[in-house]
Every structure is written in structure tokens, then in C-alpha cells.
């Protein structure tokens, strides 16, 4: 059975058995929180449980490494929507130990791309168009530094109101233990 069919079969029963009832909530985050975190599979359930967040409590934004690549990219755009449209007033940037983006090497990823059959001409064309693919694919050297940079970028963003509190944290992907890197109240 395909993955999709398995999902669709399960989904049919989920809806029929009204298993959704316990998740019903509104689209405004009850705790007025926006959380930017990593897409790491270990955090899917662990992170909200470790922070006592239930369905409806926070807006979650996820990507590889919880990093903000561009001040006018989709992450900041999502934070702005959460702040202005959904009344969020605090932002948590949560990175984690053992992140796949830590020490990720742009050259190595590029090699894998070529091995999977993407032609070198395509890569050259992108490079000639001014896209620095190696830099774009590069991860970070220190999760703490990456979090600090993201917090600073959000706090100093010209479209984010000054009363928005931004915290930076690192989570242990096994125990869920949090460490504060930036306390936004200080
Ligand atoms: Zn990660």
C-alpha cells in the first residue's frame, strides 16, 4: 500500500470516529505565542509537550535549523501575519542540540545534488544568475549564535512592533530540556 493510501485510509476513520473533537480550537493562539523551530522529527511531539502547549496555544513556523535566511522571506512574513492578524505578542526562536543544519556543508550537499542527476549546467546557470547556492545550502557553526542572530533580526526588523518580546532558546531533542540563550524580558 502506498504511503498516501495508508494516510487516506486512516484519515477516513479519524473523521468518521470524530477523533478531531478534542482538537477543536480557534485560529488565534490562546497563549499569544509564535514559535520558530526546526523541522527535526524528534521535536514534532516533544517540543509542544515539553512546553505545555496544546492545539491552539501557539503559531508554529518550522524549517531546517529554525534559521531566518532573509529579512523579507517567508519566516518573517509568517511572524508578521501572526503578530498583526492573530494577535501574537511573544516570539520564541527554538533551536536544538544535534541539529542537522549544524556544520552542514554546502559543497557536500551540492555534490549529492549532482549525484542525483541534476546537471552541472543547471547549477552553473543558477550561479551565473547570482544565486550563491553553496552559501544558501550552508548550515550554521553554532546553534546558539544562529539563534542570537535570528532573535536580533526579528527584534530589529522595521515592520515588527517594538513591544513584541523575542526569546531565544535551545532544546534538548531527547529530554526536551530548555536552555535560555536570549531572555526577551531583559
Ligand atoms: Zn534541527
Exposure string (b/e) for 32-48, b if CB count within 10 Å is 16 or more?
bbbbbbbebeebeebbb
pLDDT, tens digit only, all 186 positions of the chain: 899 999 999 999 999 999 999 999 999 999 999 999 999 999 999 999 999 999 999 999 999 999 999 999 999 999 999 999 999 999 999 999 999 999 899 999 999 999 999 999 999 999 999 999 988 999 999 999 999 999 999 999 999 999 999 999 999 999 999 999 999 999
Residue 105 lies in a domain: no
163 among annotated binding-site residues: no
CA of 29 to the centre of ligand 1 (A): 24
Residue 47 lies in a domain: yes
40 among annotated binding-site residues: yes
Residue 174 lies in a domain: yes
Residue 71 lies in a domain: yes
Q: What is the CATH number of the domain that holds 159?
A: 3.40.1050.10
CA of 94 to the centre of ligand 1 (A): 10
Amino acid at each position: 500500500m502506498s504511503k498516501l493510501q495508508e494516510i487516506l485510509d486512516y484519515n477516513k476513520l479519524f473523521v468518521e470516529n470524530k477523533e478531531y473533537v478534542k482538537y477543536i480550537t480557534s485560529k488565534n493562539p490562546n497563549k499569544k505565542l509564535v514559535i520558530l523551530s526546526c523541522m527535526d522529527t524528534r521535536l514534532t511531539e516533544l517540543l509542544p509537550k515539553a512546553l505545555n502547549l496544546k492545539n491552539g496555544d501557539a503559531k508554529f513556523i518550522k524549517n531546517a535549523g529554525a534559521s531566518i535566511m532573509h529579512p523579507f522571506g517567508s519566516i518573517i512574513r509568517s511572524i508578521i501575519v501572526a503578530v498583526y492578524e492573530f494577535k501574537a505578542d511573544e516570539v520564541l526562536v527554538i533551536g536544538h542540540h544535534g541539529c542537522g543544519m549544524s556544520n552542514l556543508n554546502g559543497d557536500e550537499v551540492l555534490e549529492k545534488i549532482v549525484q542525483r542527476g541534476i546537471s552541472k549546467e543547471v547549477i552553473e546557470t543558477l550561479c551565473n544568475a547570482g544565486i550563491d547556492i553553496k552559501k544558501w545550502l550552508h548550515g550554521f557553526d553554532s546553534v546558539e549564535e544562529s539563534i542570537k542572530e535570528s532573535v536580533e533580526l526579528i527584534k530589529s526588523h522595521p515592520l515588527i512592533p517594538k513591544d513584541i518580546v523575542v526569546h531565544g532558546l535551545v532544546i534538548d531533542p531527547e529530554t526536551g530540556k530548555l536552555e535560555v540563550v536570549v531572555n526577551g524580558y531583559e
